Structures are given as C-alpha cells and as structure tokens.
Structure 1
Amino acid sequence: MKTIRKNILIAPLNWGLGHATRCIPLVHELEKNNFTPIIASDGAALALLKKEFPHLMHLELPSYHIEYSTKAKNLKWELLKNSPKTISAIISEKKIVKEWCTKLGLCGIISDNRLGVYNINVPSVIITHQLRVLSGRTTWISSKIHHYFIKKFTECWVPDYGGNFNFSGKLGHLKDSKLNIQYIGTLSRLEKLSLPIQYDLMVLLSGPEPQRTFLEEKLLKELKNYEQKVIFIKGIIEQEQKKEVLDTVTIYNFMTSKELEIVMNQSDKILCRSGYTTIMDLIKLRKKAFFIPTPGQFEQEYLAKKMKQSGILPYAKQDSFNIEMLKEVEMYKGFPTISKPIHWKNLFNLFESE
C-alpha cells in the first residue's frame, strides 16, 4: 500500500538568516517522517532555502519591511515607523495562508516568527525563543503584543531547554504563562565532525543591512595585519558563489549548510554576531567564539552579556572591537557538551490526521 505524503508549510521570517537556517533541520526531519515540506518566505531567507532545497515547492510571502537605521540608537523608532507595513504584511499573509490550506491540502503549518502564518482549521506551530521581546523601556508592551499572536497558534516551540539549564535566559522563559509552550531542545543544521584545523579564525557575518556591511568593512581592515589563516563568510546570498583571497584571508560571499559545516569544524575559533541561531550552532559544534552583537539589537546584546557572565565566551561592541581582543577567547570555557536529542516523532504527532 502506497504511503500518502502530507504537506507541511514551513515559513521563516526574513530578518537576517537565522530564522531560515534553523528551519533547515526541520525540513530534513519532516522528509524523514514522510511529510512533504512546502517553503514560504521572502527575500534572502527564501533565496537561501531555495538553494538548500531546490527539489521542494517554494512560495513567496509579503515582506515585513524590517529596516535598520544607520544609527543603532534609532533602531527601535525605525521599527516603529515601519510597523504599519509590518501589520499589513501579517494581515496579507494570513489571507494567503488560508487560501493555501485548501489549495495545497496542508495538514500542518510551522512558522518561525511569522505572526500571520497560521490557520484555525490546521495545526499551527510558531517557533520562537522570544517569549520576552526586549525593547528597552517598552519590553512589556512588545512582549504583550507577541503573546497576543503566539496564542493564535496551536503550539509554541521554543528551541531551548526548560528549567535552570538553558541558553536563552529571560528571552525564552517566563515565570508564569498561559501559552502552550514546548521546549524542544537546541536546533541546529550542523553536525560535529572530526576534521583537522585548517583555519585559526572563521569570520561569519549575518544580519540585516546596513550593520552587516559596517562590520564587514571594519573586520577586513582589522584583519590586514592578522598573520594566521582566516576564512571570511560575508553572509550575502547571491546567484553564484564567489571566492576571493587577500593575503591570509579567504573570502566567500556565502556557503551552503554542508560547506559551512565543514569549514566551521575546521576552524579553531569563530568571530560572529550573537544571534540565537548562531549560539545553537556553536553549541552543536562545541566551538569557542567571540561575539560582536548587532548595535541596537537588544536581544543580541543581552545574549552576548549572558554568555560572558556565564564564562562561556567574550564579546565587544562593534565600535570598540579590535583584533587583539581575540586573545580573550582562550580565557573562557566555551559551551558545554549537550547530548539531549530532539524527539521529532513526538513533535510531529500534532500533524497526524485523525
């Protein structure tokens, strides 16, 4: 008897690449469990997933119009200014998803922080580590708004552990909550490999513009006098992969997951943003790192401070960083070894038809 494959919509937010990359292991596991993933997003997130999964259906959703100010202190007000466009996109994607539920025969929906990607007639999951949305003095209202949308979903999957042993801290843990939260464990597309070290340093850039470019320009200047071997990934998704060699620095515009997995395993230490997806990748690979949080992004600043206070790794603000600071990495213990697997079959039971 032929097994019927069931369609699951997977829709990551297009804000940096973290939301898209942490959906990659989800797609693989869904396929292993006889589901057919259908990918929906916009911009760089959609472009990346098209490269990773060319054999799957890809659909476009409206952009949230998330823009960064050139000055970090103006970030919150820039997001507030664009909020009418974001709300419009959320309303539009909700209507689009309703049509797709019928047209594509969806038996489940997994949204990574896309607030309108759900349907009351289809089991719908939101993946987020931001149960508390940090925004300075307005944290209480930004968190309340987020909870309003999370409640629309059947379940909320937090890629972390419950209790005192966790990595998201106050972002992903609430003292009292009526949300249907499932702590699923750390989520990474990468695997630990036994490979010899080829690079002293890997620079891994990501995140929205213009801050990504500001950091790229700063680090390339800093690395001019760095004598060790460096591999530098810009985090720019383009049609073709480009490679450039400047003295001891090998530069790529982007890499696929498999390529990244190899070079990260081959690198002694990683210099990168303090995004939560990056933290999960570092945990999986047990790599030492140095963080430079995106200026003005409260979440990344909080996570960088949390990792430093825990003695895991150091960080510096973008404006004050210099290459000599990398020596601090050896003074920190790095991430602990985690051996708790994600119970995918149990999670996917939500999508099994009655």
Structure 2
Amino acid sequence: MSKNILVAPLNWGLGHATRCIPIIRALQENGYTPILASDGVALEILRKEFPQLQSIALPSYHIEYPKNGMFFKLKMVANSPKMVGAILSEKKLINKIIKEYNISGIISDNRLGVHNKEIPSIFITHQLNVMTGNTTWLTSKMHQYIIKKYDKCWVPDVNTIPNLTGDLGHLSQKIKTIKYIGPLSRLHKKSLEKKYDLMVILSGPEPQRTFLEEKLIVELENYAGKIIFIKGKIEAKQIVETKNQITFYNYMNSEELENSFNESELILCRSGYTTVMDLAQLEKKAFFIPTPGQYEQEYLAKKYKEEGLVPYSTQDKFTAKELLQVDLYKGLKDFNTKIDWKSLFEILDKQK
C-alpha cells in the first residue's frame, strides 16, 4: 500500500513551492502518494501542477513586505505575533491532518509548524544561517534550533567549494542531521531555437513584485530586442498580451516556463535561491535585481557579482543599460549532481 507523504512549502513568493515540484514528482515515481499543503499562491501553483493530488489549505504566516525595503526588518518584527500564532495553529492542524489522511511522513520546506515527533519529518532549507543584518547571529541560532527538531534537514546545494549558497547554506559547526542533496530544479536544459533576446521573470511577495513590474515595463519600453515577460501572478486563467516587442504572460506552467527559459538569450529576475538553481541547471546568463530589504537575496546577488558570475543592480537604480554588463560575466553553471531519491526517501519508511 502506497504511503501518504505530506509536502508543505512556505508561501513566500513562488520559490519554495516550485522547488518542491521535483520532490513531488520523485515521490510519485518511487511509489509514494504526495499530499500537498500550503496557502496562497504557493498552494495555487501546486494545484495547477498536480490537479490530481489531494491538497490542504494551511494557515497563512502573514508575511508582508513594506513599500520601502529599508523597513523590512521592522515589518517582520511587527508581523511576528501573527506569524507565531499561525505556526501554532498550523502545528495543531498538522496533528489532525496526520490522522485524517493517514500521513506516514512529512517534508516541510521552511514551514516551521509542519512537524510531528511520531512520524519521519524532513525540513528543507538553503538558509542554515538566516541573514538579517546585525541580528543574523540571533535569527540563525533560532533557525538552527528548529532544524534540530527534524529527523533530517535537506539542503539543496553541494557541500564543496564552489557552491551556490555560500555562508547561507554552510556552517562552521556541523549539525549531524544535515544532508546536502544537490540543487533542486523542475527545469531541464534543451537545445531549442532562440526566440527571445530577454526573458523577464518576476516573483516574490507584494507589493515589491508589482513595483518591479511597473518599473521594468517603463525601462524596457525601448529595448532593442524581443522580450518575453512573465509577471508571476498566479490567476485562474492564463492571460497573454503583446505590446510592441514585449509578450506578457501572467504566469506559466512548468513545461511552458522550461521552454521559454531555453528559448531566451538572457534572463532578468530576482536573486531568489530557487531561480538561482534554475539558472544553474540551464546554464543561463542572467542579471539580478534583489528584492529591496531581503538580506538573503542581497547577499546572493553580491556573492555572484564578486565571483564574476552574475551582475546585479538595486531596484531603484536599475536601467535597461545595466544589461550590457552581462557579457563581462561567466554566468551560473550546473554542478551536474544527480539526486539519489531512493536513498533520500529511505527515512520515510523507517518506524519511529
């Protein structure tokens, strides 16, 4: 009899949900039955990708971005009571879900309340250190405390140099439950004819997603090349619009996105880690605009620029001319790591 495995990504932009897609597929291929759980756009995108699977709505963490990125930390502190309340509610709900759906194992991508002592529980994160400026030491210790509660922590990176996460995903003092599984991507490299000079792909929480969309539409109005512009808005119906040299999509499914990436010369996007893993898998050149105030994205953007891989600009200072820098950078490369899913899933068959 197939075991039911709860897969629960955090709803913070689209990245946590999309990097769970290859995990869900691998579970199916290895004889497990995934049951999906999240909230907001993260749940919607999983429902679109796997309409045949059961899905459950979890409490929202109430993650909100300020209009000014400088106030990101203050906004997070102000919202922390709501977040803690949601995590506690989530924890109680998970206990009910385990009984109701006969759950045999848990895979949580950064959802802190999705855990149970009675069944194998796996935590996925690329942030063993949580960057928050002068409070990084505190947020990192808190996150590491949570990680230790799980039977395994999967880090989607390699434990060698070079690597993709740098200080985010590597600790000086090891935690024995950590397993580096290699970068995760739902996309594959294909030899397709080039259709677009530039691909813009947006993601992340509001209102910063909208701010960047509005800015880029103006900046790229006179861009000398063909553009495909994916807004990252998960809606009931796909909408396609063309204006001059730009073709707009509100969203794409995985297959459409994979083809568009492979058909594009250059990618303009946030420096979120899931996007980084996709770019490395596809070996694409890119230009990054980190989300204002999000320390993790700012750290990664600076890291790749210093390593001569990908240039970046802050959101307020970006102009279309900045894209000319890309030719001076190497671009991200694939580590060619093959994930051993059968071995990773062995923990799900162990009795506690």
In the superposition, the TM-score normalised over structure 2's length comes to: 0.98
SS class of match (1:283): helix
Q: Distance between the aligned counterparts of 2:223 and 2:8, measured in 1?
A: 40
Q: Map 1:2-21 onto structure 2 (within 5 A).
A: 4-21=1-18
Q: Distance between the aligned counterparts of 1:78 and 1:336, measured in 2?
A: 35
2:5 matches 1:36? no
2:1 matches 1:23? no
Counterpart residue type for residue 280 of structure 1:
M
2:311 matches 1:314? yes
Which of 270, 275, 278 pairs up with 1:278?
275
1:164 Cα offset (Å): 2.1
1:353 Cα offset (Å): 4.4
1:223 Cα offset (Å): 1.1
Counterpart residue type for residue 40 of structure 2:
G
1:104 Cα offset (Å): 1.4
Q: Give a deviation string over 1:126-184, Cα, whole Å, max 9, x none.
A: 10000000000111111111112111111100000013221100000000033510000
Q: Map 1:69-88 onto structure 2 (within 5 A).
A: 69-88=66-85
Counterpart residue type for residue 262 of structure 2:
N
Q: Give a deviation string over 1:68-106, Cα, whole Å, max 9, x none.
A: 000111010100000011111111111111111122111
Q: Distance between the aligned counterparts of 2:48 and 2:71, measured in 1?
A: 34
Query: Is the CA contact 1:156–1:179 (under 8 Å) kept in the aligned structure 2?
Result: no
2:122 matches 1:111? no
Which of 125, 129, 141 pairs up with 1:128?
125
2:48 matches 1:51? yes
Root-mean-square deviation (CA), in Å?
Answer: 0.9
- Determine the structure 2 residue equivalent to 1:195: 192
SS class of match (1:278): helix
Identity score, percent: 57
- Determine the structure 2 residue equivalent to 1:60: 57
2:114 matches 1:151? no
SS class of match (2:154): strand
- Determine the structure 2 residue equivalent to 1:290: 287
- Determine the structure 2 residue equivalent to 1:344: 341
Counterpart residue type for residue 338 of structure 2:
P
Counterpart residue type for residue 60 of structure 1:
A
- Determine the structure 2 residue equivalent to 1:264: 261
Q: Distance between the aligned counterparts of 2:35 and 2:175, measured in 1?
A: 30
Query: Is the CA contact 1:159–1:187 (under 8 Å) kept in the aligned structure 2?
Result: yes
Which of 87, 92, 108 pairs up with 1:90?
87
Q: Give a deviation string over 1:191-250, Cα, whole Å, max 9, x none.
A: 001101100000000001111111000000011111210000000000000011010000
Q: Distance between the aligned counterparts of 1:228 and 1:103, measured in 2?
A: 54
- Determine the structure 1 residue equivalent to 2:216: 219
2:321 matches 1:324? yes
Counterpart residue type for residue 191 of structure 1:
H
Query: Is the CA contact 1:304–1:315 (under 8 Å) kept in the aligned structure 2?
Result: yes
Q: Map 1:174-185 onto structure 2 (within 5 A).
A: 174-185=171-182
Counterpart residue type for residue 88 of structure 1:
G
SS class of match (1:163): coil
Mark the runs of 5 or more structure 1 residues left unpaired by the alignment.
Answer: none
Q: Map 1:243-262 onto structure 2 (within 5 A).
A: 243-262=240-259
Counterpart residue type for residue 282 of structure 1:
L
Q: Give a deviation string over 1:248-291, Cα, whole Å, max 9, x none.
A: 00000000011000000000010000000000000111100000
Q: Distance between the aligned counterparts of 1:16 and 1:307, measured in 2?
A: 21
Counterpart residue type for residue 85 of structure 1:
K
SS class of match (2:220): helix
Q: Distance between the aligned counterparts of 1:178 and 1:249, measured in 2?
A: 48
SS class of match (2:313): coil
Of 64-73 and 173-182, deviating more is 173-182
Counterpart residue type for residue 208 of structure 2:
Q
Total equivalences in the alignment: 351
Query: Is the CA contact 2:193–2:263 (under 8 Å) kept in the aligned structure 1?
Result: yes
Counterpart residue type for residue 100 of structure 1:
I
2:210 matches 1:234? no
Q: Distance between the aligned counterparts of 2:218 and 2:86, measured in 1?
A: 39
Q: Distance between the aligned counterparts of 1:68 and 1:337, measured in 2?
A: 32
- Determine the structure 1 residue equivalent to 2:202: 205
Query: Is the CA contact 2:270–2:289 (under 8 Å) kept in the aligned structure 1?
Result: yes
